[in-house]
Amino acid sequence: MESKLIVIAIGGNSLIEDSKHVTVYTQYQAAAKTAHHIAKLVKAGHRVVIAHGNGPQVGYILRRAEYSKKILHPVPLDSCVADTQGAIGYQLQMALDNEFIQMGIEKSVATVVTQVEVDAADPSFLHPTKPIGSFMTEEDAMKHVKYDNWDVVEDAGRGWRRVVASPKPRRIIELDTIDKLVGAGVIVIAGGGGGIPVVRGEDGLLVGREAVIDKDLAAALIAKHLKADYFVISTAVEKVSLNYGKPEQKDLDTISTDEARRYIEEGHFAPGSMLPKMQAMVDFVETTGNTGLITDPAHIYDSLYSAAGTRIVK
């Protein structure tokens, strides 16, 4: 296969292999496993842009802020996203650099701290629904409502949680920079955590907003604008399935965007799991006419060269 431009979105949870034993080093080890399969694509001559999730990692930052709130200032959510872009980008850079050394290839890797413009009038700002951070008592939740202007909800009897907006990504601010780096042969890590949410004021200036952008939708936006040949979403399963976890479960090999839409309408995909991935894939494939792939980290390379993963075509 001749050189292709491949945008790969990996989940923040894929960096957490054991939720009971989480350290920075164990997250690096998980990143290194994914990096190995991505490096194989680079060795095969492909250009790669990597986006990643950050849900658990932002949760850790918010929990630390909660514990230290009596002695340190709070960290706004947009800054938390920026923090994770740097930290996870660093781990992926190191892991890829080490893989390239072992494979005997010379490639540069760069992380771009990425702002993503959203609409200040996005409906999600009026009706926040995305839970973030740890559980709280009702008393603590009401204090945050009063003093920090948080939106909170009671979560199925497990406690109270903060909820934030999840606006649709509209524009990648650093897209030209990403494009130039790719053109120069650099492996780029960008759009981490869906990007840092920013809005543009009437004066044309940008300002950060406390929100969470879906990582897969932001990665699809990058893939569309770069006209990627392949858009790959790495998740917990090798293939997308219908009736997942049931006796009649059926794994999907290759499906059209029309079939994907029908499965979405039939409710086969969970809103907090596979649904946004399928929506992002349909958007990318229909816009570009190119191919989308959903698989797990271990089959990223094989999904391009064999029957691994689920392939979405126009």
Give the catalytic positions in this structure: 12-13, 130, 215, 277
Helix (H, G, I), strand (E, B) or coil at 282: helix
Cα-based torsion angle of the residue sequence 226, 11, 309, 185 in order, rounded to the nearest 10 degrees = 40
Q: Which ranges of the chain would DSSP assign to H, the alpha helix?
A: 24-43, 55-67, 77-103, 138-148, 175-183, 215-225, 257-265, 274-288, 300-305
Helix (H, G, I), strand (E, B) or coil at 268: coil
| Rg of the chain taking only CA atoms, in angstroms | 19
Angle ∠(198,115,148) on CA atoms, nearest 5: 45
CA–centroid distance for 108 within its chain: 22
Cα-based torsion angle of the residue sequence 16, 178, 7, 264 in order, rounded to the nearest 10 degrees = 90
Hey, what are 166's tokens?
């999840």
Contact 271, 130 (CB under 8 A): no
